[in-house]
Structures are given as C-alpha cells and as structure tokens.
Amino acid sequence: MAVGIFDSGLGGLTVLDAVARKLPAVPFVYFGDNAHAPYGVRTHDDIFNLTCAATERLWDEGCDLVILACNTASAAALKRMQETWVPSDKRVLGVFVPLIEALTERQWGDNSPPREVAVKHVALFATPATVASRAFQRELAYRAVGVDVEAQPCGGVVDAIEQGDEILAEALVRSHVEALKRRMPYPEAAVLGCTHYPLLARVFQDALGPEVRVYSQANLVAESLADYLQRRPAFLGAGTLAKFLTTGDPAYVSSKATQFLRRAITFEAV
C-alpha cells in the first residue's frame, strides 16, 4: 500500500512529513534525485527524462501512485507525462492542484467557468524553470478571473538549502521578496511555489509582512492526498516498506535531511 514521493532534492521532505502525519498507516517511499539537483535551471526535456526515471524506480518499489513533490517537475514535466507516458494502471500527481484549490476556493473537478475570487494580487515565488513554464498562471486562469500574479524566480535559494547554508538562504529570500515588491508593492497573498521554501516560510512571512497570507504546500498536499486515496483506494500500491532513496551521497543527504526535519533520516543509495 506504499505511495511514492519524488523531489529533485530535499525540499519534498516537507511534503513527506505532512502526508506521513496525515496518513500514518501508509508507508511512503521517498526518492530524492540529489545528484541532479537543482532542477530549476535545467531544460524541460532534461527535467522530463529525470522525472520519468525516478518515477519508474518508485513504481519498482510498489508505488502505483507517485506524488511529484517538486514544483519544477510538476510545471515542466507532469502534463507531458500524464498525456504521453503514464500507463492506465498508474497515477502521477503534482503539487499545484491543492494550491489552486485553496486560492480559488473550488474543487479541481469543478469545471464551471472562471469566476471572481477574493484574492486579486498574488506573489509567486518559485524556481526559474517553474516561473518560465507559467504553469501556475495557466491553471489559475482556468478557474479564476481578475487575478494579478507577479512571479519572482528565486535563483540560488534551493542550492543554499541543499548545501545547508541557512544564512545565505535567508539573505536570498529577503532579496527576492524585495525585488518582487518593487513590481507589486502590496500583494494580498504569496505562494511558495517550491517544496524547499516551507523550510524558510518564517523568513518569507517576515519579509512580506503580517498582512500577506502565505500559502505553503505541504499541508495542502496532505489534505488533498488523503481525499484522493479515500476516493481511489485502488492506487495504494503493493509496497509495504517505507524508505528513503537518493541518487546522491547517502551519508551526506541523510545528514542534511536529519538537520531539516530534526529527526533521524537514513537514505539508501539508488
């Protein structure tokens, strides 16, 4: 009954932590492609190929359902995967859907015409590849009208987090928030469009100010996954063991993961 969680690096651990607390009976297999991180500066074809390879490995672990806990992969590869690559007995889902549902206050299956929503000015912080894809804006436009989205590519933040350099990561976040606010001085809401960023949610909130509502993905994804599995229990795979896999150095990745989640995490080499 295992479910796979994939990320280019360590950011998806924020999603894993939330879904594991929400669904304690489900074993989760986490795959971090640390050897090829970050994905945010790669081409779409490269991201597609790497994401497919990781997904196949999670299928081999008995995970018929794989969550792309990586906004870059969700933006650059998911649609192509679902349309051309994923077989009918498997499912691959992304992390944009719960965010869009939260912002528009409507379920994904609601296919009524786009309508006005309460939030009019949204700041999007994401990797350069996610920003370039415009996937968030496209999905939002299907469901809402009159929403101004200002996107800020946050170069360097993922690298700093992966390297464990908290001081640099915080400085970069403040710099990116300042850059966005020069273009959108008064955002009403901010979307942390990378699963690494919840590790710095406090810094984003402090830089944006208390009046800005910050949407972080982990808990939203956990709620959405619980609902999905309740409606589609057949996609609980045959795997029974929870584990952590990495394409990187398992000792180094385990050390950084333990630092991030503040509990012992042991990765195995792929």
Give yes or no on whether 3-94+218-269 and 97-216 have one common fold.
yes
Per the structure block, which two tokens stand in for 70? 């990586």
Q: How far is CA 215 from CA 103, 190, 191, 260, in A?
A: 9, 6, 5, 20
Residue 168 confidence (pLDDT): 97
Residue 108 confidence (pLDDT): 63
Gap between the Cα atoms of 134 and 184, Å rounded:
18
* CATH architecture, range 3-94+218-269: 3-Layer(aba) Sandwich (3.40)
Tell me phi and psi for residue 115, to 5 degrees: -140, 170
Per the structure block, which two tokens stand in for 3? 């479910």
SS3 content of the chain, % helix, strand, coil (to 5): 50, 15, 35
Computed from CA positions of residues 53, 58, 61, 65, in that sequence, does the dihedral angle turn out positive or negative?
Answer: negative
Residue 8 confidence (pLDDT): 93
Gap between the Cα atoms of 3 and 90, Å rounded:
11
Q: Are 16 and 2 in contact (CB under 8 A)?
A: no
Computed from CA positions of residues 231, 232, 233, 237, in that sequence, does the dihedral angle turn out positive or negative?
Answer: negative
Residue 34 confidence (pLDDT): 95
Supply the DSSP string of 162-201, one letter for each residue.
Answer: HTT-HHHHHHHHHHHHHHHHHH-SS-SEEEE-STTGGGGH
Domain ranges of the chain: 3-94+218-269, 97-216
Residues of the chain with pLDDT under 70: 108-109
The DSSP secondary-structure symbol of 244 reads E
Q: Which residues are CB-contacts of 171 (< 8 A; sequence separation ≥ 6)?
A: none
Q: How far is CA 204 from CA 180, 251, 259, 260, in A?
A: 12, 30, 20, 17
The DSSP secondary-structure symbol of 234 reads G
Q: Which residues pair with 125 in a beta bridge?
A: 152, 192
CATH of domain 97-216: 3.40.50.1860
The residues annotated as belonging to the active site are: 70, 194
Site of tokens 């939260």:
102
Query: Where do runs of H (alpha helix) occur along 13-95?
Result: 13-22, 44-60, 71-76, 78-84
Q: Are 39 and 7 in contact (CB under 8 A)?
A: no
Gap between the Cα atoms of 184 and 182, Å rounded:
6
